[in-house]
Structure 1
Amino acid sequence: MNRKVIYIGLAGIAGLFLGWLIFGKSDERANSSAEVHEHKLEGQQMWTCSMHPQIMQPEPGDCPICGMELIPANMDEEGLAMNEIKMTKNAMALANISTTVIGDGKDDGSMTDISLSGRIKVNEEEQMVQASYFDGRLERLNVSYEGQDVKRGQLLATIYAPDLVAAQQELLSSLSLRESQPALYKAVRNKLKLWKLTENQINTIEKTGEVKEYFPIYATVSGTVLEKMVSEGDYVKQGEPLLKLIDLSSVWVEFDVYENQISSLEKGEKITLTTKAYPNKSFKATITFIDPILNESTRTVVVRATLNNRDGIFKPGMFVKGNVESLKDKEDAVPESVMIPASAVMWTGERSVVYLKVNGDTPVFRMKEVDLGGRNGDMFVVNSGLQKGDEVVTNGTFTVDAAAQLQGKKSMMNQNQEEEISSSEIGNMKMVLSDSFKKEFKSVLPSYFNIKNALVLGSATEVSEYAKDLLESLVSINESDLNDIGKSHFSIIIDLAEDMSNSKDLKYQRDIFIALNENIVPIIMNIGKMDNLVYIQKCPMANKNKGAYWLSMEKEIKNPYYGDQMLTCGSIIDSIQ
């Protein structure tokens, strides 16, 4: 009996041990596998905010904007978030896409380069006026046009002067009293001298005894005619300006400098100048004036340098680029803001976005909204959204955005419905546009309309050629008078025109045309008055049924986004007189 109990006990122990070997190890392996799988998922999972989907965090927590609890972000089959795009290295090489790791803009704290845009202006200190020294009627004017060079002593005009006729008669009458009343005689002669008659002219009158009705006016200064203020046959008063002259042997070059650059510039600093007129030359000038008053509309001050122009190579109105090496003591050096190249920035309405490289080893990019400050040459100051060490796309940004659109991801041309820009919102994008910029920008519209018509016809080759014409016209425009919003739109237009000129893919060109209009239309609406009536038209089906704009000189709808497929799809939503 005792043996049976012992055997049963041993058998039970053996069964328990065997069951543990079979099932216990399996559970352990399953638990281990589940744990490994869970860790794997955690390594790929990202967390976002339901109200602010641009927020992506590697772990759960609260939204830094609104404080709401983060939720798991939807990931695709490659482990990418909804607003992330992955490109192959081969595709990046073919599209010439490059990235830049951004820093704080400092070298060693001792030197910073400041790039400026400006234009040549007349030296107002060298302006002069040639006036008439007696009343009369201009019988002949020898200066025919503005820009004509005048030398001192040159005959400018012939004038009929009744008062001068009377003064000559007084002179001839006083000749007989020269001995008895020398003071009277001398006073009459001085009166004629005050009217700028020379000693030889006065002596000739005395010798011949003839009164002249017409007298010449000689130039008392030398210079270039800036303004012709009278015409032949005009009656002029004593002291009335006839010509405005300027000495162009020295000229001014003026730059618009943003607030964040003012502290880096001082009077006496050297500035290196380059101009498209002489692309292989550089010129030196010295800063002579910094405007003490800030322009509140553009948030800039005028910085002026005086330039030697004895050879006459600089023409007022010419655009120039300036570069200043600003040397500061290390003790006084103030760290600058994070800066990024302008080529990295895209604009959607008044928002600015960049493409951030998520992983340094893998070409995965994410659209990131940034808040920009002032512009320094080809660089933007970043107020928020990026930090030192972030890597952003700086060449081929639009190509990355197009790839995001093709993959169905969020892109500049594929915004959510609530982010669409209405025509009224486009008109509310306030820009500071100078009269010269308005005039120059309107001159590029013929090239734009050629592009639109070529898209209607579906000719990718013609689109590319007209885009080259548009690009050539754009790069000759001076954008220094624009505010930040205007400059950013203008810079994007140039980049898009270049992309369009390099492409022969009609579909890609039409995608670019969507973004091109999102930047051109706001500028046109801020310009306002056109030389001819311009219609703003919209196709509701373009841009994946979100709608897209274009400009037209014709009231008839001819859709550039679909051509013959849906030629008349669209409507007029606004017009500019």
Structure 2
Amino acid sequence: MKFMRARKQLIFIVLGAFVSGGIIGWALSSNEPKAEEPRGHDHSGETIYTCSMHPQIKQEEPGSCPICGMDLVPLSSVSDTESANPYVMTMTPEAVALANIATSTVKTGGAAGDGVSLSGAIEADERKVTTVSANFGGRVDALFVAFTGQEVKQGQRLARIYSPDLITAHRELVEAKKAKEISPKLYEAAKQKLKQWQLTDAQITAMEQEDDYQPHFDIYATTAGVVTERKVASGDYVSRGQVLFEITNLSKVWVMLDAYEQNVGKIDTGDEIKFTVNALPSEEFTATVTFIDPVISQDSRSAKVRAEVRNTAGKLKPGMFVTATVAADRQTKAGMLVPRSSILWTGKRSVVYRQVGDEEKPAFEMVQVDLGSTVGDMQEVLSGLSEGDRVVSNGVFAVDGAAQLSGKYSMMSHPEKQQITVSSHFRAVIDEVVATYLKVKNHLVEDQSAKVSAGDLFKQMEAAETVLEGTASKTWEKSRRSLMEVSSSINQTTDIQEQRDLFIRLSNEMINLLDVFGTPGDLLYKNYCPMAQSDQGAYWLSEFKEIKNPYFGGAMLSCGEIKGKYE
């Protein structure tokens, strides 16, 4: 009985412990914060990196594109919501630093004075390449030139040939000499036969004095130089006229350069060139242009330029790569110079990105440029830039890729002027739109409200009827709606500063319209104010060459510069 009572007490104690533990556990758990329910990962605070050329590539860390190998750029850098100008790409300072974007100042180059940079290679002078042939048939019994590249002197023995024909000719000479007094013509004929086989007078005289007919005859070098090709081996049978050796005299060599089509006209025969070779980078050589190929290669669009240089020391060897500078025509007008790394070539079009922002608000405008000659690592720009402009010289692909991902114009989507051919009726509509736009601009120039003129522009765009088809119709409707929207906004405010802020967008829309559908009949100037839009810069169109700034009016009327023309 005692055992049963002790067992029951033990069971109650255990049950009590379980109940107490449950109560304590519930109390503790009720004071702890509740765990959040599972939810999707929030990327809002992270930076996503993408490829400029392959936007489908996205990852959370910087790196290289697995497709093309380009550095990934922050996706935030392509979220350009500050600039309505499709030519201008605004980026964050962090994105600029991560993309390692650097700029260089455009400077007046004097490209003509600096010369044209060309590349090419050293080649042997074709006029100094000679061949040594077998003048009689036989067997090569010995070679005294063991390898290609061996230097030889004029008159040096090259090979020994066993020739039955020469043995016969030798016998005829000896017999003819014995009958010299009776038949001198026969004697002369025997000697002449040997001379035709290129034997020297000394060899023929030695053969006359030998009673025993020699079975071997030696072949000698006719010029000094380097054996560039050996075509026979010991034991080979050769026939008369067969080439045995090729000897090149390298005392004078050619510098063969490739001149692209745009540079050919700047080079003349007689021009001096200065060049270096990779093997001797610290030594500079001088040569003279002696020939310019009259035909442009259809594949490379370049012509061969040949210069000659003395090579008495033998430092220049055929096959060496050359970097040369040719003094170009001094009459050529000097242009602007930019680093070659800043140029994006897209077939017939070339573009650069010009800095229009500052360090706090980096912004870059795509500008189409016309190129001149190449000057070393610099490129001559004939139009599109001004001295003092800053262009992106490092990271230009990152900027262009960011613009492409943002829906801005990029090197692959830059509009061509007069891209769409339109009727004279439609062109008259554009002329009227431009005229009303200029009224809006002139009111702001004079510090007057543009409310009324903007309202006229809205009505004009609303009533505009055109007969266009396909892409032209869609493009026009998009521009028309944008112009109606911004002109309506200007019409609905009496604050001139707000009107000026909206005029930036109006000007951009007008520039886009002219880029696509062509220019009006009268000359228009595309002007730029670097201080507008809080120093981000802004464009406008004007019928005057004189700068009259609509963004500041009388406060800074002459602030700005001409960046282009529509004519």
With normalisation by structure 1, the TM-score equals 0.50
Corresponding residue SS for 1:255: strand
Corresponding residue SS for 1:111: helix
Alignment partner, residue 392 of structure 1: 391
Which one of 124, 127, 130 corresponds to residue 128 of structure 1? 130
2:299 is equivalent to residue 297 of structure 1: yes
Q: CA 1:135–1:185 in structure 2 vs 1: closer, same or farther (change >3 Å)?
A: same
For the 8 Å contact 2:142–2:234, the answer to whether it is kept is yes
> In 1, Cα distance between the equivalents of 2:118 and 2:222?
39
Q: CA deviation at 1:411?
A: 9.3
Alignment partner, residue 86 of structure 1: 91
Alignment partner, residue 227 of structure 2: 225
Structure 1 residue runs without a partner (length 5+)? 1-73, 417-577
Larger RCO (CA within 8 A; separation ≥ 6): 2
AA of the residue aligned to 2:363: F
Tell me the matched-pair count. Answer: 334
Q: CA 1:159–1:101 in structure 2 vs 1: closer, same or farther (change >3 Å)?
A: same
For the 8 Å contact 2:149–2:228, the answer to whether it is kept is yes
Q: CA deviation at 1:204?
A: 4.1
Per-residue CA deviation, residues 126-155 of structure 1 (Å, 9 max, x unaligned), is 111112221222222332332121212222
Corresponding residue SS for 1:306: strand
Corresponding residue SS for 2:171: helix
Per-residue CA deviation, residues 60-110 of structure 1 (Å, 9 max, x unaligned), is xxxxxxxxxxxxxx996656768623343x886787643234367547xx7
Q: CA deviation at 1:121?
A: 0.8
With normalisation by structure 2, the TM-score equals 0.51
Q: CA deviation at 1:220?
A: 1.9
Corresponding residue SS for 2:327: strand
Which one of 284, 288, 311 corresponds to residue 290 of structure 2? 288
AA of the residue aligned to 2:353: Y
2:117 is equivalent to residue 115 of structure 1: yes
> In 2, Cα distance between the equivalents of 1:325 and 1:248?
26
2:233 is equivalent to residue 234 of structure 1: no
Corresponding residue SS for 1:298: coil
2:166 is equivalent to residue 167 of structure 1: no
2:332 is equivalent to residue 344 of structure 1: no
AA of the residue aligned to 1:98: A
AA of the residue aligned to 2:391: V
Corresponding residue SS for 2:214: coil
Which one of 235, 258, 261 corresponds to residue 260 of structure 2? 258
Structure 2 residue runs without a partner (length 5+)? 1-77, 414-567
Alignment partner, residue 186 of structure 2: 184
AA of the residue aligned to 1:322: A
> In 2, Cα distance between the equivalents of 1:146 and 1:398?
48
Corresponding residue SS for 1:166: helix
> In 1, Cα distance between the equivalents of 2:81 and 2:261?
48
Corresponding residue SS for 1:326: coil
Q: CA 1:98–1:414 in structure 2 vs 1: closer, same or farther (change >3 Å)?
A: closer
Per-residue CA deviation, residues 2-53 of structure 1 (Å, 9 max, x unaligned), is xxxxxxxxxxxxxxxxxxxxxxxxxxxxxxxxxxxxxxxxxxxxxxxxxxxx
> In 2, Cα distance between the equivalents of 1:350 and 1:165?
71
Q: CA 1:372–1:244 in structure 2 vs 1: closer, same or farther (change >3 Å)?
A: farther
Per-residue CA deviation, residues 229-288 of structure 1 (Å, 9 max, x unaligned), is 333333333333221111011111111112222222222221111222112221111111
- Greater gyration radius: 2
Corresponding residue SS for 1:169: helix
Q: CA deviation at 1:361?
A: 7.0
Corresponding residue SS for 2:274: strand
Q: CA 1:394–1:217 in structure 2 vs 1: closer, same or farther (change >3 Å)?
A: same
Aligned Cα root-mean-square deviation (Å)? 3.8
Q: CA 1:265–1:348 in structure 2 vs 1: closer, same or farther (change >3 Å)?
A: closer
Corresponding residue SS for 2:328: strand
Alignment partner, residue 155 of structure 2: 153
Per-residue CA deviation, residues 183-226 of structure 1 (Å, 9 max, x unaligned), is 32233233223323344544444444111222111222221112
For the 8 Å contact 2:121–2:321, the answer to whether it is kept is yes
Q: CA 1:203–1:357 in structure 2 vs 1: closer, same or farther (change >3 Å)?
A: closer
Alignment partner, residue 543 of structure 2: none
Q: CA deviation at 1:310?
A: 1.0
Alignment partner, residue 364 of structure 2: 366
Corresponding residue SS for 1:311: coil
> In 1, Cα distance between the equivalents of 2:221 and 2:301?
43
2:245 is equivalent to residue 247 of structure 1: no
Counterparts of 1:458-469 in structure 2 under 5 Å?
A: none
Corresponding residue SS for 1:116: strand
Q: CA 1:389–1:194 in structure 2 vs 1: closer, same or farther (change >3 Å)?
A: same
Which one of 88, 100, 107 corresponds to residue 104 of structure 2? 100
Q: CA deviation at 1:122?
A: 0.8
For the 8 Å contact 2:267–2:329, the answer to whether it is kept is no
Corresponding residue SS for 1:133: coil
For the 8 Å contact 2:80–2:406, the answer to whether it is kept is no
For the 8 Å contact 2:83–2:90, the answer to whether it is kept is no
For the 8 Å contact 1:348–1:412, the answer to whether it is kept is no
